Chain A
Amino acid sequence: MSLLTLKNVSYRYEGASQNALTDVTAEFQNGKVYAIAGKSGSGKSTLLSLIAGLDTCTKGAIWYRDKDLKEIDRDVYRSNHIGVIFQAYNLLTNACAVENMLISMYISSSGKKAAFDGKKSMEQAFTLLENVGIDREKATRKVLKLSGGEQQRVGIARALAHNPDILIADEPTGNLDNDTENDVLDMFTSFARNDGKCVIIVTHSKKVASIADITLGMKDGTLTLAS
């Protein structure tokens, strides 16, 4: 069975005259990296938001394993099963990087049995941030005082912090230099191939698309299988 199944998904923003997504059908499996390419405004971010469980589709259904997202606790789904790297980072800008990590870890702990251990989590957070190139000094700086690239990396570390089944990323390497981009892409592929997770990346980058196992195209709200 697929990890994630999209069945004829349509979505229209409130008050919009047109669908942002129309009849999207797709399946996503464990252990694979997916790339979704497409022009700006074609509906990529919208699709990721629905996969992230931020809203439910207007028509059709999205299934996580054997459950319709409409029927499960989407708060738990978001905090435990899926990690999202937003195009706009969506970090808590007044807090520092570690605090961003800790809050995310705290939220996911409420869905798990083990109680939240602040000290242990803090060390984990520092390690994860170091993995994406954020040292301790930067990790304790207000996010607002980090560069765009650094914020992006914090966003990536945060998405991985609770060890989700699915990692979705919206233009994750847009702001990164070449070296860091390579590091991040290595992390994504390792996450899929070594840890058996499902990674879905929205991208313009040829390089990103090239490391993907499957590349999908998005055009005017419909999904096409690209070559």
Chain B
Amino acid sequence: MFIIKNSLHNLLRNKGRNILLAVIIFTIIATTAVTLIINNTANGIIEDYKHRFGSRVNIVPDTAQIMENLRSSFGGGGLGGIFGGGGMGGLNRVNMGNIQVTAQQSIAFAQSPYVLTYEMTASQPAFSDTLNTVDGDADLELGGGMFGGRGGGMGDMFGGAMGGITGINPDEMDIPNLRLYGNHWEDFQNGLRDVADGRFPIAYGEAMISLELAELNDLMIGDTIRIYSTLTEGSGEDITSRRVVHDLTVVGIYFDMTPENATGGFIRASFLNRRNEVLTTLDTVISPLGANESGITVNAVYYLHEPDMLPLFEAELRNQGLDPLLLVTTNEAEYLAIVEPVVGLRNVTSTFMIIVLVLGGIVLVVLASISVRERKYEIGVLRAMGMKKKKLVLGLLSEMLALTVICLVLGLTVGSLVAQPISDTLLAVQIENITPEEVAEIGGMGGLGGLFGGMGGARGGMGGMFGGMAGGNTIEAEPLSELNVSLGLMTILEIIGISLLLASLAGVASVARITKYEPMKILMERN
């Protein structure tokens, strides 16, 4: 005990040197604390996002492979030729039609044991011969030409859903002037739509319609409407189709915030107008679908129990006949884009911490051995009085430890106080460093889907509107711009560990020196 008390006294006896040592140890501990606090928080967030995004599975077309296939099937014609030519719409449709996940598949995949939960929407062109639709007046102008040609502009509008029916004589079928949506509430979350009256449909046969559609037809909550949709079976010459009758009860009326006409009047048609969308439950849309029928587009996102179940899940889907041109992916790019600033921040702080620890460690070891050399005489005297080396070392180590503990308390306090402002500053730099192209890339994901949904870049706004259908649901991928750092127990333990490591490093350096000193030599040098 005396030896430890004495070493505490020693700290005060040699103030100058110990203050210098303390400043260095404090600096190391404080910077380590700041970097560790930021690092551990960042890691937690990255892990969290990884888990969330890593388990969120989309099924998307293998665009690279599809383009490759297109290119080779057209010989030397090149990509430009394909997309430049008038046949583009048709080509897209044919290829997309072949490789779409069928509605039945989408529904079956959700039953996989690896799936924890899923988000599923369904949509289907619909038709009413009694309702007045928004832009319905323009449908007459466009007339039958719309469905006249195989490769026509509108044909691809319906993507895979209508892909197979182009062989039918358009006169025999209902020309869609509505669209039926199951479980499609995204626009309400996005703020594009709002409930004007009533409530959301929850039971089979309940529906929500737009304010405009309600006004055009004098519809009120509680009224029923009858609309039709078409389901088809078979392909080519053997195609058959049947009409499905939906008797829907209006339980809600929504208000749509988007411009009345998405194309700015360039094309007006009732089936293009969002206000003609009839929203209902998933079940209402998909329950009439027979095992071999098509005509409904189902979009699904699956959430797995664990991110690493992806290969198992994929194997199961392939087993169930998922087309090789469809990829089972997690949205890694999106996850990476979101956590990019945080990863950058973590890398900066990690690098900084390593530098501080290495440099600080070196300085500390040098200082510790210098200080021991300074104290050589004192050590000689103590040894001459018969103090055992062990006790001497114990004394020096307790001095070092006491100093470290003081610095640890100060360093942790200061570190946890400044970690947040430092983190904010560093994160701001990281966000600035993200190039606009990268942000565009994030936003462009929906656009890619739009291209293969048949809307093409030239069609402007519509690409975005239907983009999600083929590309899978996309979430807003804003890079993280805020990081609330906090000092956790693990972080405290790590900092204590690092401090003790530093203290013992310095201790070892001093001890290595002490053992070299023999009292005779030290003392006789002075005589």
Contact = CB atoms under 8 A, between A and B. Distances in A.
Nearest to B524: A49
Q: In the complex, which of the residues B10, B383, B527 has the most CB atoms of chain A within 10 Å of its own CB atom?
A: B527
Contacts of A46: 524
B67 interface: no
B387 A92 contact: no
B320 to A, nearest CB: 80
Interface string B474-508: 00000000000000000000000000000000000
Interface in B328-366: none
25 contacts: A45-B524, A54-B519, A55-B520, A75-B386, A78-B384, A79-B386, A80-B386, A84-B384, A86-B384, A88-B523, A90-B526, A92-B382, A94-B378, A95-B9, A99-B6, A102-B2, A103-B6, A103-B382, A103-B385, A104-B385, A106-B3, A106-B6, A108-B386, A110-B388, A110-B391
Contacts of B521: 14
A54 B384 contact: yes
A118 interface: yes
A35 interface: no
A90 B523 contact: yes
B19 to A, nearest CB: 14
B162 to A, nearest CB: 94
Contact of B523 (A13, A54, A110, A116): A54
A92 B386 contact: no
Interface in B388-403: 388, 391
Contacts of B526: 88, 90
Contacts of B385: 78-79, 103-104, 107, 158
A90 B384 contact: yes
B380 A107 contact: no
- Which of A13, A14, A95, A103 counts the most chain B CB atoms within 10 A? A103
Interface in B1-30: 2-3, 6, 9-10, 13-14
Contacts of A111: 386
A91 interface: yes
A156 interface: no
Interface string B435-478: 00000000000000000000000000000000000000000000
Given A45-B527, A103-B385, A107-B387, A94 B14 contact: yes
Nearest to B2: A106
B380 to A, nearest CB: 7
A107 B3 CA distance: 9
Contacts of A118: 2
Contacts of A84: 384
A140 B13 CA distance: 13
Given A45-B527, A94-B13, A118-B2, A54 B386 contact: no
Given A75-B383, A75-B386, A94-B10, 9 more contacts: A54-B519, A76-B386, A78-B386, A86-B527, A88-B526, A90-B381, A92-B382, A99-B9, A103-B387
Interface of A: 13-14, 45-46, 49, 52, 54-55, 74-80, 84, 86-88, 90-92, 94-95, 99, 102-104, 106-108, 110-111, 116, 118, 158, 170
A108 B2 CA distance: 13
Of all A-B residue pairs in the complex, the 5 with the closest CB atoms, nearest first, are: A79-B386, A78-B386, A55-B520, A54-B520, A94-B13
B378 A92 contact: yes
Contacts of B9: 95, 99
B518 interface: yes
A102 to B, nearest CB: 8
A78 B378 CA distance: 16
B389 to A, nearest CB: 8
Nearest to B521: A14
Nearest to A118: B2
B2 A116 contact: yes
Nearest to A80: B386
Contacts of A79: 385-387
A77 B388 CA distance: 11
Given A46-B524, A49-B524, A88-B523, A75 B384 contact: no
Contacts of A107: 382, 385-387, 391
B388 A88 contact: no
Contacts of B6: 99, 103, 106
Contacts of A116: 2
Candidate in A91, A102, A106, A111 with the most chain B CB atoms within 10 angstroms: A106
Contacts of B3: 106
Contacts of A74: 386
Nearest to A109: B2
A91 B387 contact: no
A168 to B, nearest CB: 12
A220 B472 CA distance: 101
A111 B388 CA distance: 11
Contacts of B523: 49, 54, 86, 88, 90
B480 to A, nearest CB: 54
A177 to B, nearest CB: 23
A14 B524 CA distance: 12
Interface string B196-238: 0000000000000000000000000000000000000000000
A87 B526 CA distance: 9
Interface string B507-522: 0000000000011110
Interface in B99-130: none
A152 to B, nearest CB: 14
B527 A87 contact: yes
Contacts of B391: 107, 110
Contacts of A102: 2
Contact of B388 (A75, A99, A158): A75
Contacts of B378: 92, 94
A90 B2 CA distance: 21
A125 to B, nearest CB: 13
Contacts of A45: 524, 527
